[in-house]
Amino acid sequence: MNVKTASLTDLTDAQLTSLVLSMGEPEYRVKQLRNQIYRGLAFSFEEMTDLPLALRQALEKVTPLHSLKATHQVVGQDGTIKTLFTLVDGNTVESALMGYPQASGRQRNTVCISTQAGCAIGCPFCATGQQGFKRNLTRGEIIDQVLYFANYLKNQNHTAQEITDKTASTLSNIVFMGMGEPMSNYDALWPAIETLNSPDGFRMGARNITISTSGLVPQIKRLSSEKLQVGLAVSLHAADNALRDKLVPINRKYPLEELIPACKEYYRATGRRVSFEYVLFKGINDSLPRARALAQLLRGLACHVNLIPANNTGDRTYQPPSPQTILAFERELKLNHINATLRQPRGQDIDAGCGQLRSRFVSETGSRKKTLNKV
Ligand code: SAH
Ligand code: SF4
């Protein structure tokens, strides 16, 4: 690996150690360095004042600290922050930070992270899918999105109470629901997750990390056998193969007869309920018979269904149903004993050109004015 072209966060533990040792430094410097990156959230070598100047200068010569450049930032009416990052090769990806006030008065901050520039799956309702596939992100590019928002939160003005609570000032959840199919980039995604979870890394609990997938069965099986038990969300959107083949084209390769048993296996292996995302499209998958078919498909599977009204990406075919239709669908699922929650997309007003950076978790909107800033 040519360290000159990578960022420091791209390096494996072994690579980082050999780099530091090759600079004539003792091994404990590696720990200090990791501490600065993942706990101190340093964004320049200059800030790492506990490291010798000579080491900082030597590191700066061989590798940048981070790989991403935040080039634009938009704040939605509900406070969702969406950031556009430019990669070293000029490709761009977007990620979002969503704050959720809790009943306790505390706040939960979730980041929605991209794993690929573009996506090869090609779901027809998805803006990213329509852009086609550009490339996989590296582990460093995945990690750096998280560190960017963690650093952003840390540098906001917080009250003394918020700092003590470590709520508004820190990240509480990471969801891989941004651009791209995370499971198609498993080899970069998994080391990134390990670093984000590691006690020597960012220390995000596995319970607070969720991977969303269009349904790549071999990778779901691989996930089931991992020691680290992260959450699984499956983008279902249809309960029969004929419709799902059209909405989520990977279904032609891994149909429901394979997908649902893989989800059951994941539950057996991890004890974690699977989340199913069901985006409601007007006149396409929103009827009561379809709600009953969904309940039938999921019967006996420990799961939770998130119902999400389609976000309009400009394609007239894929519109959200009326509020009455949405509520009737939800009611029908519940009558059929399925745990379901209606989620309002977050950052809806700033979604244009992205198509998916939105929450799957709460349903409320705020009133902050939309702004567009170059950062
Ligand atoms: N590729 C993965 C993760 C990224 S997409 C996946 O498909 O699960 C994250 C979520 O956004 C998926 O559930 C996807 O179906 C949804 N999504 C994409 N376009 C959307 C739209 N126009 N309206 C509502 N949800 C959308
Ligand atoms: Fe890819 Fe997910 Fe969009 Fe489908 S919904 S095209 S899998 S990013």
Query: Tens digits of per-residue pLDDT, 314-354?
Result: 788 999 999 999 999 999 999 999 999 999 777 767 753 34
Of ligand 2's listed atoms, the one at least distance from the Cα of 120 is 1
**Ligand 1 mutation target, pool 211, 213, 235, 247, most atoms within 8 A of CB:** 235
The residue among 40, 13, 37 whose CA lies nearest residue 27 is 13
Is the pLDDT assigned to residue 77 strictly greater than 70?
yes
* pTM as predicted: 0.92
Instruction: Please state the domain extents for the chain.
Output: 8-62, 68-374
- CA 242 / ligand 1 centre spacing (Å): 19
pLDDT-based confidence at residue 167 (cuts at 50, 70, 90): low
User: Is the shortest distance between the CB of 249 and ligand 2 below 6 Å?
Assistant: no
Of ligand 2's listed atoms, the one at least distance from the Cα of 179 is 8
**Ligand 1 mutation target, pool 351, 356, 359, 360, most atoms within 8 A of CB:** 356
Instruction: Assign domain 8-62 one CATH number from 2.40.50.100, 3.90.730.10, 1.10.150.530, 3.40.640.10.
Output: 1.10.150.530
Task: Say what angle helices 288-298 and 256-270 make with each other, to 10 degrees.
Answer: 50
The residue among 269, 335, 328 whose CA lies nearest residue 296 is 335
Of ligand 2's listed atoms, the one at least distance from the Cα of 127 is 3
pLDDT at 353: 35
| CA–CA gap between residue 18 and residue 32 (Å, rounded) | 15
Instruction: Let me know if 354 is a catalytic residue.
Output: yes
Annotated catalytic residue within 226, 277, 354, 364: 354
The residue among 284, 215, 212 whose CA lies nearest residue 255 is 215
pLDDT at 295: 98
Amino acid at 192: A
Retrieve residue 29's tokens. Answer: 């410097």
pLDDT at 4: 45
pLDDT-based confidence at residue 157 (cuts at 50, 70, 90): low
| CA–CA gap between residue 286 and residue 265 (Å, rounded) | 28
Per-residue model confidence as pLDDT tens digits over 16-49: 999 999 999 999 999 999 999 999 999 999 999 9
| CA–CA gap between residue 275 and residue 235 (Å, rounded) | 9
Q: Which CATH superfamily is 68-374 part of?
A: Aldolase class I (3.20.20.70)
Instruction: Give the residue whose CA is nearest to atom 22 of ligand 1.
Output: 311
H helix or E strand, kind and range, residue 174: strand 173-176
pLDDT at 344: 77
| CA–CA gap between residue 63 and residue 140 (Å, rounded) | 12
User: Is the shortest distance between the CB of 247 and ligand 2 below 6 Å?
Assistant: no
Annotated catalytic residue within 94, 141, 277, 330: 94
| CA–CA gap between residue 102 and residue 45 (Å, rounded) | 36
Is the pLDDT assigned to residue 357 strictly greater than 60?
no
Per-residue model confidence as pLDDT tens digits over 227-280: 999 999 999 999 999 999 999 999 999 999 999 999 999 999 999 999 999 999
- CA 352 / ligand 1 centre spacing (Å): 14
Per-residue model confidence as pLDDT tens digits over 43-65: 999 999 999 999 999 999 999 99
Please give the average per-residue pLDDT across 209-218, as a whole number: 98
Of ligand 1's listed atoms, the one at least distance from the Cα of 176 is 3
User: Is the shortest distance between the CB of 214 and ligand 1 below 6 Å?
Assistant: yes
pLDDT at 285: 98
